[in-house]
Amino acid sequence: MTASSLTQQSFDYVIVGAGPFGCVCAHELTKKGNKCLVIDKRDVVGGNCYTENINGIHVHRYGAHIFHTNDKYIWDYVNQFAEFKQYTHNVIADYKGERYTLPFNMWTFNQLWGVKTEEEARQILEGQTYKGEIKNLEDQARSMVGDDIYEKLIKGYTVKQWDRPCNELPASIIKRIPIRFTWDSNYFDDKYTGIPIGGYTQIFEKMLEGSDVWLNKDYFEDKDYYDSLADKVIYTGPIDRFFDYKFGKLDYRSLRWETDTLEKDNFQGVPVVNYTDLKISYTRILEHKWFDHQNQKGTIISYEHPATYDGNNEPYYPIRDDKNTQTYNKYHELTKGLKNVLFGGRLATYVYYDMHQIIAQALKLVNEL
């Protein structure tokens, strides 16, 4: 169906955004017999989960994505669209050339202090942890893991990520820090963890079968037209943009990616290395072939550079401090007065979600229609 052949009410739903939330909604609504139009201003589907095949390597263009959940229903749901390979996420932190395993476990404590037992590790942590009033992220982190881990593995990385000193960031950013007194270095402890064989893009392409999909289309360039094509709109974009920044713009942190193709077959031997030294501008290096352990010749790496969100780059991480939370709440109140527009996804709710959470929320929305 082409744009020129469309008349008003050609669809039951117009879905703004072909990311995970929009794709799940389109799939479920189409199964129920609805006609859906999905539009996205990008030229690809899948949102930030999009992967592209370069020389046989599935490159995570917008950052590393590992599917993990404890919910068997969500795990079975996503597995209908692709075969998943069991995956153990091992992350290395680099601090001035010193290498540590993440999350914090006995390997980390051994590398830091040479300890071998839980009792030894607990004794050192107890002696270092901050016991005062928790006023900010620095206090929170030091109260959980002490000075050594905070200074080497948290402080620099966090400052780079948020572009603010840790003592100016809210404590709520770090609600919990996983600490294990075992030698288990698997980053996730969820029951189900995997990577789709063949990359993520196939999942979203299959979800969109049966829907009309228009890419390179900015909803706001012709909002009245798109709204006229269906009785209801499902909007997954930035909520402040939808209301024309009535209460001001919400703040985000963004990322800039620098990707290189190398002739060597192995650059770092793991998918992700975090760089926690503040003097190194990037926060992570991804080596994409190790996400699904491909054996192709050569390798592809991506440097992750934190960036200020300026409205032209991608909004990644909501800065949910008091000011932004109050602003979002005002926008959220406005959504309650709209009967024909539904809001969902991380940008429309101003929360950073994992993939399994987004899928669950999209399923819930459709089931309540």
Query: In the chain, what are the domains?
Result: 3-87+192-251+318-367 (3.40.50.720), 104-173 (no CATH)
Average pLDDT over residues 4-18: 81
Average pLDDT over residues 263-267: 95
Mean residue pLDDT across the chain: 94
Instruction: Pick the closest to residue 234 from 8, 32, 60, 11 (CA basis).
Output: 11
241 is catalytic: no
Other beta carbons within 10 angstroms of residue 369's beta carbon come to: 13
Q: Is 182 exposed, middle or buried (0-12, 13-18, 19+ CB in 10 A)?
A: exposed
| pLDDT over threshold 90, residue 6 | no
| pLDDT over threshold 90, residue 16 | yes
Is there a contact between 80 and 165 (Cβ–Cβ < 8 Å)? Answer: no
| pLDDT over threshold 70, residue 1 | no
Q: How would residue 9 be classed by pLDDT, with cut points 50, 70 and 90?
A: low
What was the pLDDT predicted at 295? 81
Identify the active-site residue in 284, 287, 316, 328.
Answer: 284
Q: Is 268 left (phi over 0), alpha (psi -120 to 50) or beta?
A: alpha
66-75, 314-323, 342-351, range with the lowest pLDDT: 314-323
Q: Which tokens sit at 156? A: 């620099």
123-132, 164-173, 331-340, range with the lowest pLDDT: 164-173
Identify the active-site residue in 43, 119, 176, 322.
Answer: 176
Q: Collapse the DSSP code of 3 into the 3-class scheme (helix H, G, I; strand E, B; otherwise coil) and give the result.
A: helix
| 0.75 exceeded by pTM | yes
What was the pLDDT predicted at 178? 82
Q: How would residue 175 be classed by pLDDT, with cut points 50, 70 and 90?
A: confident
168 is catalytic: no
| pLDDT over threshold 60, residue 187 | yes
d(CA 207, CA 200): 11
| pLDDT over threshold 90, residue 2 | no
In terms of pLDDT, which residue wins out, 27 or 295? 27
Q: Which tokens sit at 356? A: 């399994």
| pLDDT over threshold 90, residue 324 | yes
What is the C-alpha end-to-end distance of the chain, expressed in Å? 25
253 is catalytic: yes
235 is catalytic: no
If residue 36 lies in a helix (H) or strand (E), which one and from where to where? strand 36-40
Other beta carbons within 10 angstroms of residue 357's beta carbon come to: 17
d(CA 328, CA 290): 38
Identify the active-site residue in 235, 253, 287, 292.
Answer: 253
Q: Which tokens sit at 84? A: 């998943």
346 is catalytic: no
164 is catalytic: no
Average pLDDT over residues 214-220: 98
| pLDDT over threshold 70, residue 114 | yes
Residue found under tokens 């979600």:
353
If residue 59 lies in a helix (H) or strand (E), which one and from where to where? strand 57-60
Q: Is 114 left (phi over 0), alpha (psi -120 to 50) or beta?
A: left
What was the pLDDT predicted at 8? 64
Is there a contact between 37 and 214 (Cβ–Cβ < 8 Å)? Answer: yes
Q: Collapse the DSSP code of 185 into the 3-class scheme (helix H, G, I; strand E, B; otherwise coil) and give the result.
A: coil
Average pLDDT over residues 284-305: 93
Residue 357, C-beta contacts closer than 8 angstroms, at least 6 positions apart? none
What was the pLDDT predicted at 322? 87
Identify the active-site residue in 61, 180, 241, 346.
Answer: 180
Identify the active-site residue in 212, 275, 304, 328.
Answer: 304
304 is catalytic: yes
Average pLDDT over residues 212-218: 98
| pLDDT over threshold 80, residue 3 | no
